[in-house]
């Protein structure tokens, strides 16, 4: 499985992580190309369904990333996201997903570097975990 490249779907908050990713790009930081961003207005609007949907669609991991605690543009959307992700992680194994496939981080708008590092760290870990097979095992 040398050439296995995991796919990461990232739900990024419009006000911070999305901007951070932008910054990473304009700063010409290099990081693995395994991530695809889906912009949301706030992590608080990420319905757990979206995560599961992404995993079912074949993503190997989902990253939810928003503003630092206390910095949420909508006051506390990120706190709500944190609660939901914690619950979601309890549920994931029942669907056969490894809970490591979902990750929640806080990356501020000016943290291009941190965004790049986050992705850089994620990819080898996912490689070690192997591809997300659940979709294929699913009996529909």
8 A C-beta contact, residue 31 and residue 2: no
**Between 68 and 135, CB nearer to ligand FES:** 68
Burial class from Cβ neighbours inside 10 Å (0-12, 13-18, 19+) for residue 30 reads exposed
Nearest-approach distance from CB 109 to other proteins, in angstroms: 11
How far is 127 from 70, CA to CA, in rounded Å?
A: 33
> CB of 9: closest distance to other proteins in angstroms?
7
How far is the CA of 66 from the CAs of 41, 61, 86, 134, in angstroms? Answer: 9, 17, 15, 27
Q: Which of 16, 24, 40, 61 binds other proteins (CB under 8 A)?
A: 40
Q: Which residues bind ligand FES (CB under 6 A)?
A: 13, 15-16, 42-44, 66-67, 72-74, 77-78
Task: Determine the interface stretch with other proteins among 17-25, 68-76, 90-98, 112-120 (rule: CB under 8 A).
Answer: 68-76
């Amino acid at each position: 499985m040398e050439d296995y490249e995991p796919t990461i779907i990232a739900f990024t908050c419009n006000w911070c992580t999305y901007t951070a990713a932008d910054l990473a790009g304009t700063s010409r930081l290099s990081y693995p190309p395994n991530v695809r961003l889906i912009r949301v207005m706030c992590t608080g609007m990420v319905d757990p369904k979206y995560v599961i949907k992404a995993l079912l669609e074949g993503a190997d991991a989902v990253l939810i990333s928003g503003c630092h605690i206390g910095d949420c543009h909508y006051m506390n959307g990120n706190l709500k996201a944190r609660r939901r992700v914690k619950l979601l992680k309890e549920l994931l194994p029942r669907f056969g997903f490894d809970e490591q496939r979902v990750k929640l981080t806080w990356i501020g708008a000016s943290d291009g570097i941190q965004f790049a590092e986050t992705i850089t760290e994620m990819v080898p870990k996912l490689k070690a975990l192997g591809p997300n097979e659940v979709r294929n095992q699913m009996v529909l």
